[in-house]
Amino acid sequence: MKRHVVNFHYTLRDSAGNVLDTSAGGEGITYLEGAGQIIDGLDTQLRGFAAGTKTRVQVAAAQAYGERDPAQVQRVPRAQLPVEGELHVGDQFQTGTDRFDPVVTVAGIEGDMVLLDANHPLAGVDLNFDVEVVSVRPATDEELRHGHAHGAGGCGHG
C-alpha cells in the first residue's frame, strides 16, 4: 500500500467538548502516514481521506495516549528532583537533561515528598478531533527511507 504525506488542521476536544488544542491560525500538521508522528488512532482514521475533507474523528484513549497507569505515579523525595525553586501542583518538568527523558507532572506535595505522575496528561482521555485535510500526496522514496515528511527543501540530513 502506498503511503502518503498528509497536511491537516484540527481542533481537539475532550469528551465534554472542551477545546484542548487547535492548529487554527497556524500551518497545520504535516506527517508521513504510519511513521508514528501523530497518535496511532488519528493516523489510522485519516487514511484515505482526500484533500478538502472535513470530518470529526473520535479516538479512544487506548489508541491515543493510552490508559492511565497507576505505576507511573510515584512519591519522590523533593531533594532528588532536578528542579530549583518552589514547586506547585500541576507543574511539569523533564526528569533529566536528555530530550528523551520523561516529562512528569507534580500531582501532590506532602512535606518533603512530591507525588509525580509520568502519565501523559491526556492518558485515559477519549479524544475528538474536528479535522480538515488540506493536502495529500504520495510520499517520496527519500521520505520513506527517512521515516518522516520533508518540506520543499528536504530535511537537511542524508
pLDDT for residue 148: 85
In a domain, 49, yes or no: yes
| Total tally of structural domains belonging to the chain | 2
Q: Which of 81, 44, 83 is nearest to 64 (CA)?
A: 44
Quick one: 107 and 33 in the same domain?
no
- Kindly report, residue by residue over 71-124, the tens digit of the pLDDT: 999 999 999 998 888 999 999 999 888 888 889 999 999 999 999 999 999 999
The whole-angstrom separation of Cα 95 and Cα 88 is: 16
- E strands, 24-126, in order: 29-32, 54-59, 73-77, 92-94, 103-110, 113-117
Structural domain including 79 reads 70-117
In a domain, 132, yes or no: yes
Quick one: 90 and 113 in the same domain?
yes
The whole-angstrom separation of Cα 128 and Cα 138 is: 27
* For residue 157, pLDDT beyond 60: no
* For residue 151, pLDDT beyond 60: yes
The pTM score is 0.80
